[in-house]
C-alpha cells in the first residue's frame, strides 16, 4: 500500500462536503494538506481544527478556482516545501439550477462551466509542472455519475462532468510515461451542501432530493478517494463509480414510499 505519511495533498473546495471529508480522512492518514476554497473564515477554522486533531501540517488560502490569475499566483507563491505536491484532489464544483435548457438561466451555466471545467483545468495546469519536476504524482478528479449519463434538466451540469471524464482520460494518456497517475471518483447522490447550492439556498427543495432514500455521505466518497490514493505505484484506479445502494442510475432511485403498501 502507498503510505500517505507526510505526503502533501492539495484539495480544492475543502470548506464543505466531499472536499472537507477528504481533508479529514487524509489528515487522519498522516498527510500534510493544502486546502483552499472561497469562504476564508470557514477554511481557517477547518485548517486549525485539522492541525489540532490530527497533528499534521496544513497550509490554507482563499481561492476561487474560476480566477486563472489567482490560481496561478496561489500555486506559484507556495513556499518551496509546500510545492512538493504528491496528490491533487480536484473537488471544487457545483450544480446551479435544475431547469429545462430553454428555461434556464445562463449565469448558472457560466458558474458551472467556469468552476467544474475551467477551474479544474487552471489548477491542474499549475500543479502538474511541480509533479513533473518531482517525477511522480497523482491527480484525482471528482467527477460524477453525471459524467456517464445525462438526466433531464441537467444538460449543462452533465456536460461539465462529461468534460471532467474526458479531461481525466486525456491527461492519463499524456502522462503515461511520467509516473503521474490520474483517477476519477464518480459518485451518485451524496448529501452535502450540493443541493442547497443547486437550489440557491432553498433547504426544503434540497432536502427533498434525499427524501425517503439513504444517500451517500461525503465520508463514503472520501473513503473511495483514499482507496485510489493508497494503491501501490504500479496500480491505478482509473475510474471509481460509487452509488447509494438504492440508486441504479442518474434517474432511477428507489424511495421507500414508492413501495407497494404491503412491502412498506
Residues with a known catalytic role: 157, 161
Closest CB 16 distance from ligand NDP, rounded Å? 4
Give the separation between CA 133 and CA 128, rounded to whole angstroms. 9
Query: If contact means CB under 5 to 8 A according to the sort of partner, which of ligand NDP, ligand 8X3, none does residue 239 touch?
Result: none
DSSP state of 143: -
Binding segment toward ligand NDP, per CB under 6 A, in 46-54, 59-67, 131-139, 231-239 = 59-67
Listed in sequence order, the residues at least 6 apart from 25 whose beta carbon sits closer than 8 Å to its beta carbon are 219, 222, 223, 225, 226
Between residue 200 and residue 239, which ones bind ligand NDP under the rule CB under 6 A?
218
Whether the CB-CB separation of 166 and 220 falls below 8 Å is answered with no
> Among 97, 119, 137, 224, which residue sits at the site for ligand NDP (rule: CB under 6 A)?
119
Query: If contact means CB under 5 to 8 A according to the sort of partner, which of ligand NDP, ligand 8X3, none does residue 15 touch?
Result: ligand NDP
> Among 60, 124, 144, 239, which residue sits at the site for ligand NDP (rule: CB under 6 A)?
144
Is 13 one of the binding residues for ligand NDP (CB under 6 A)? yes
Alpha carbon 93 to chain centroid, angstroms: 7
Task: Give the three-class secondary structure for 105.
Answer: coil
Give the separation between CA 244 and CA 190, rounded to whole angstroms. 8
Query: If contact means CB under 5 to 8 A according to the sort of partner, which of ligand 8X3, ligand NDP, none does residue 250 touch?
Result: ligand 8X3
**How do strand 58-62 and strand 8-12 relate by DSSP bridges?**
unpaired
Give the separation between CA 161 and CA 147, rounded to whole angstroms. 4
Closest CB 260 distance from ligand 8X3, rounded Å? 26
Element (H, E) at 61: strand 58-62
Task: Give the three-class secondary structure for 176.
Answer: coil
Is 184 one of the binding residues for ligand NDP (CB under 6 A)? no
Is 121 one of the binding residues for ligand NDP (CB under 6 A)? no
Is 192 one of the binding residues for ligand NDP (CB under 6 A)? yes
Query: If contact means CB under 5 to 8 A according to the sort of partner, which of ligand 8X3, ligand NDP, none does residue 197 touch?
Result: ligand NDP
Give the separation between CA 242 and CA 26, rounded to whole angstroms. 19
Give the separation between CA 116 and CA 94, rounded to whole angstroms. 7
- How many residues bind ligand NDP (CB under 6 A)? The answer is 31
Nearer to ligand 8X3, 29 or 196 (CB): 196
Is 15 one of the binding residues for ligand NDP (CB under 6 A)? yes
Nearer to ligand NDP, 149 or 179 (CB): 149
**Interface contacts to ligand 8X3, rule CB under 6 A:** 95, 144-146, 189, 250
Whether the CB-CB separation of 34 and 82 falls below 8 Å is answered with yes
Is 197 one of the binding residues for ligand NDP (CB under 6 A)? yes
Nearer to ligand NDP, 85 or 189 (CB): 189
Listed in sequence order, the residues at least 6 apart from 255 whose beta carbon sits closer than 8 Å to its beta carbon are 211, 212, 213, 246
Amino acid at each position: 500500500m502507498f503510505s500517505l505519511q507526510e505526503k502533501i495533498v492539495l484539495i480544492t473546495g475543502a470548506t464543505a462536503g466531499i472536499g472537507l471529508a477528504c481533508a479529514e480522512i487524509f489528515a487522519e492518514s498522516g498527510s500534510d494538506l493544502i486546502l483552499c476554497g472561497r469562504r476564508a473564515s470557514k477554511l481557517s477554522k477547518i485548517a486549525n481544527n485539522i492541525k489540532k486533531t490530527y497533528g499534521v501540517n496544513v497550509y490554507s488560502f482563499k481561492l476561487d478556482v474560476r480566477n486563472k490569475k489567482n490560481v496561478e499566483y496561489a500555486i506559484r507563491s507556495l513556499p518551496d516545501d509546500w510545492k512538493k505536491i504528491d496528490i491533487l484532489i480536484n473537488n471544487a464544483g457545483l450544480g446551479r439550477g435544475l431547469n429545462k435548457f430553454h428555461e434556464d438561466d445562463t449565469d448558472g451555466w457560466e458558474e458551472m462551466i467556469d468552476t467544474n471545467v475551467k477551474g479544474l483545468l487552471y489548477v491542474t495546469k499549475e500543479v502538474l509542472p511541480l509533479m513533473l519536476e518531482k517525477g511522480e504524482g497523482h491527480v484525482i478528479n471528482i467527477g460524477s455519475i453525471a459524467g456517464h449519463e445525462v438526466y433531464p434538466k441537467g444538460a449543462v451540469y452533465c456536460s461539465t462532468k462529461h468534460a471532467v471524464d474526458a479531461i481525466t482520460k486525456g491527461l492519463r494518456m499524456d502522462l503515461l510515461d511520467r509516473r503521474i497517475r490520474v483517477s476519477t471518483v464518480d459518485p451518485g447522490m451524496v448529501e452535502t451542501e450540493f443541493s442547497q447550492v443547486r437550489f440557491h439556498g432553498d433547504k426544503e427543495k434540497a432536502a427533498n432530493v434525499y427524501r425517503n432514500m439513504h444517500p451517500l455521505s461525503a465520508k463514503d466518497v472520501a473513503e473511495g478517494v483514499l482507496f485510489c490514493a493508497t494503491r501501490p505505484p504500479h496500480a491505478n484506479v482509473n475510474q471509481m463509480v460509487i452509488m447509494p445502494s438504492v440508486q441504479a442510475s442518474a434517474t432511477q432511485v428507489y424511495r421507500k414510499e414508492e413501495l407497494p403498501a404491503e412491502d412498506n
